DNA sequence: CTGGGGAAGGGGCCC
DNA sequence: TGGGCCCCTTCCCCA
């Protein structure tokens, strides 16, 4: 059974509800390619080959980078101080997922939905994708806070303020990147490349401590935590620590800390 | 039940 | 503006 998001079960609201898409009459705009969506019942993902951009594994450019062990952030200092909850490890690499504090002076594009700011209009535009409301939610948003969407997706109620944002969204419907080996489709080329590694067995990311190799950099990063004596994620109630947030979530969900 | 690996999706930044 | 890439997160499965 392929681990397709088409068959994946979601139990939280944080994951996209693709069933909404399937429940609707798919109407693909003529102005965009790949007007065919996998339909429940008459076509499986495995046999789905839309008129999409087909990636031939043999024709693909060489993998992302030379297949050599990759050092993520330089030598891992396993004896370093606990990173508590702020993720200093990543910050050492000069990049974090969120700006630490006040808005940098060059961030002049403000999101009307939240307090985030961006240094470029494209950054703001892409960020606003995250605020894209469902049709039923639009009415609950103050009109002055709406970004005056002008581009509507014909597959779902989503609306976007730029053509680029809409195009990016449409890829999640059309899934133009198709694996020629198994037929699985993806919205972005790099997702397909990662998937292809599951076929080729390529594992470009190696652990410097145990030489174990991984196909995905994030998985290597998670693995690195297993070498660390101090786990990164701590339960607020019992102070027990875990190497991954998902393990902490499982811990709390199991009822160990009912108060939390 | 817990820990860990594999796989995948989305947000955001850079060019 | 769009593509590529990085990072984070989540889910599933297995030992």
Note the pLDDT tens digit of each residue in A55-108.
333 333 333 333 333 333 333 333 333 333 333 333 333 333 333 333 334 445
Q: Closest nt to A87 (CA→C1')?
A: C8
Check whether residue A49 has its CB closer than 7 Å to nucleic acid strand C: no
Integer-rounded Cα radius of gyration of chain A:
22
Query: What's the CA–C1' distance between A8 and C11, in Å?
Result: 8
Q: Closest nt to A218 (CA→C1')?
A: C7
Q: What is the pLDDT of residue A108?
A: 55
**pTM score > 0.85 for this model?**
no
Among A39, A30, A47, A37, CA closest to A172: A37
Residue A103 to residue A110: CA distance in whole angstroms: 10
Q: What is the pLDDT of residue A42?
A: 34
Among A183, A200, A193, CA closest to A63: A193
Check whether residue A12 has its CB closer than 7 Å to nucleic acid strand C: yes
Among A208, A258, A209, CA closest to A238: A258
Q: What is the pLDDT of residue A33?
A: 35
Q: Give, as one character, the DSSP assignment of residue A160.
A: E
Q: What is the pLDDT of residue A133?
A: 41
Q: What is the pLDDT of residue A180?
A: 83
Residue A136 to residue A144: CA distance in whole angstroms: 17
Asked whether the beta carbons of A95 and A88 are under 8 A apart, the reply is no
């Amino acid at each position: 059974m392929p681990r397709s998001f088409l068959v994946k079960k979601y139990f939280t609201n944080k994951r996209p509800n693709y069933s909404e898409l399937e429940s609707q009459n798919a109407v693909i705009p003529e102005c965009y390619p790949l007007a065919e969506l996998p339909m429940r019942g008459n076509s499986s993902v495995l046999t789905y080959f839309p008129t999409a951009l087909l990636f031939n594994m043999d024709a693909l450019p060489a993998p992302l980078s030379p297949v050599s062990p990759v050092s993520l952030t330089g030598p891992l200092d396993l004896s370093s101080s606990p990173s508590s909850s702020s993720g200093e490890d990543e910050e050492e690499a000069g990049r974090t997922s969120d700006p630490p504090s006040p808005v940098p002076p060059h961030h002049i594009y403000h999101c009307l939905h939240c307090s985030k700011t961006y240094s470029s209009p494209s950054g703001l535009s892409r960020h606003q994708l995250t605020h894209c409301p469902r049709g039923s939610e639009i009415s609950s948003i103050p009109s002055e806070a709406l970004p005056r969407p002008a581009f509507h997706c014909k597959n779902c109620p989503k609306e976007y303020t730029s053509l680029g944002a809409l195009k990016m969204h449409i890829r999640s419907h059309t899934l133009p990147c198709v694996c020629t080996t198994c037929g699985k489709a993806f919205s972005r080329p790099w997702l397909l490349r990662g998937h292809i590694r599951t076929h080729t067995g390529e594992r470009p990311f190696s652990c410097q401590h145990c030489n174990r190799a991984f196909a995905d950099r994030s998985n290597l990063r998670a693995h690195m935590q297993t070498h660390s004596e101090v786990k990164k994620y701590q339960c607020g109630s019992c102070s027990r620590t875990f190497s991954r947030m998902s393990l902490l979530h499982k811990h709390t969900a199991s009822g160990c800390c009912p108060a939390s």
